[in-house]
Amino acid sequence: MKRLITICAVTLLFAGAASAQEIANFSRGQQVVSPEVYDGGSVTFRLAADYATTVYLSGNWMAQGEGPVAMTKGPGGVWETTVSGLEPEIYTYNFIVDGVAVNDPVNYKVQRDGTRYLNMVFVPGERSAVYNEAAHRGTLTTLWYDSTQLGLNRRMIVYTPYGYENSKKTKYPVLYLLHGGGGDEEAWTSMGRAAQILDNLIERGEAVPMIVVMPNGNPNQQAAQTLGLGTSTINTRDPAYANAYVKSLVTEIIPFIEKRFRVIAKPSARAISGLSMGGGHTLTASQLYPSTFDYICPLSISSQDTPEIRTQLRALKNDGYRLYFVGVGNTDFLYEGAQTLDRILTEEGLQHTFYVSEGGHEWKNWRLYLQTFAKLLFK
């Protein structure tokens, strides 16, 4: 035992020294707490900036024209403001210090939205409870597949539920979950909290264990721009490549997933959902390949009303499906187009849910839709 303790002491000594040097530049003398979240949806934001002349808070909960909000300088050069009445959700924010947009230096909870990094603040409550880490967590696999059709090696992220590895035989249903314009394969796990939402719903027994596949939906990209990889030279507006991404999804990604993972390979065990551009992909995939998915959940998306689309919807109806869930916010700029989709689905006799929430074209809604429709899948 003595020997063990001696080595331990040496290790701790090194650890301490290394730590000190490695994190020396993390300390910027700012001892403030920010954000501080209180019961009832009040949040205080603080920034220690004695030198600043003006500090504003910009948050994604502020309606157009409502923000940014001026913060007040207090003792010790600490700027502060308190926001009240935030509903349980995850919000993003930053500061504007003398005209310069700055992240909160004491809040290391950051998410990437396309090419931008934003601080997160979590307001707890029933709606946002599923965004927390569950006790039992699935696995996220970041992997690459070859798309012959798009001429690229492409990245995707795959969620396998807790317990997937405990069996060598159990097969799972699959949700194909697609991001929007400006997003990439990391959008649903970063901003969308998809892993946490599924972990929690599965742990509670509210959703069945499922695999979630999150590909990159930009047809000429290999992966998120942050990787700096080359793009495809295919002109995706060339009619020869019409719906190139959706074709690749159905004829390349699905077979790849069904070979690589233990998957129930039939329509009744396949769901597709996507937001915005990914909602367009969801519509296109379900209309061009009506025998592929029994669960269809386009989010924040509009539809035109054309004879072709109506013909396709009738084919989908005849082919059969189990769930058609349309989610949209009541201030979404695509709300009217989503109403068109609702109307033509009704007129063509396709049973569906038209789920309208407060708010616009934003992640708080997409997270809400995921936690709502995930409970309805594969049941």
Smallest distance, Å, CB 97 to a second copy? Answer: 5
Smallest distance, Å, CB 64 to a second copy? Answer: 11
Residue 300 sits in the site that holds a second copy (CB under 8 A) = yes
Identify residues 80-99 at the interface with a second copy (CB under 8 A). 97-99
Residue 148 sits in the site that holds a second copy (CB under 8 A) = no
Cα distance between residue 38 and residue 20, in whole Å: 33
Strand partners, 38: 42
From the list 77, 83, 75, 39, the residue with the least C-alpha distance to 58 is 83
CB 122 within 8 A of CB 131: yes
Residue from 40, 117, 235, 310 binding a second copy (CB under 8 A): 117
Residue 17 sits in the site that holds a second copy (CB under 8 A) = yes
For residues 46-63, b (16+ Cβ closer than 10 Å) or e, as one string? bbbbeebeebbbebbbee
| Residue in the structure block whose two tokens are 């309208």 | 356
Residue from 254, 297, 301, 313 binding a second copy (CB under 8 A): 301
Smallest distance, Å, CB 140 to a second copy? Answer: 4
Residue from 28, 126, 148, 205 binding a second copy (CB under 8 A): 28
Nearer to a second copy, 17 or 85 (CB): 17
Q: What is the DSSP string of 40-57?
A: TTEEEEEEE-TT-S-EEE
Residue 22 sits in the site that holds a second copy (CB under 8 A) = yes
Cα distance between residue 15 and residue 66, in whole Å: 48
From the list 229, 203, 228, the residue with the least C-alpha distance to 371 is 203
Stretch that binds a second copy, among 24-32, 321-329, 348-356, 369-377 (CB under 8 A): 24-32
Cα distance between residue 282 and residue 115, in whole Å: 24
Stretch that binds a second copy, among 9-17, 38-46, 79-87, 170-178 (CB under 8 A): 9-17
Residue 304 sits in the site that holds a second copy (CB under 8 A) = yes
CB hemisphere CA count around 159 (13 angstroms): 29
Judged by CB under 8 A, the number of residues near a second copy is 94
> How far, in whole angstroms, is CA 349 from its chain's centroid?
31
Residue 21 sits in the site that holds a second copy (CB under 8 A) = yes
Residue from 57, 175, 271, 334 binding a second copy (CB under 8 A): 334
Residue 116 sits in the site that holds a second copy (CB under 8 A) = yes
Nearer to a second copy, 313 or 368 (CB): 313
Residue 284 sits in the site that holds a second copy (CB under 8 A) = yes
Residue from 139, 170, 235, 291 binding a second copy (CB under 8 A): 139
CB 254 within 8 A of CB 145: no
Smallest distance, Å, CB 336 to a second copy? Answer: 12
- How many helices (H) and strands (E) the chain has is answered by 9, 18
From the list 131, 129, 123, 156, the residue with the least C-alpha distance to 142 is 156
Nearer to a second copy, 292 or 378 (CB): 292
Residue 114 sits in the site that holds a second copy (CB under 8 A) = yes
Nearer to a second copy, 340 or 372 (CB): 340
Residue 144 sits in the site that holds a second copy (CB under 8 A) = yes
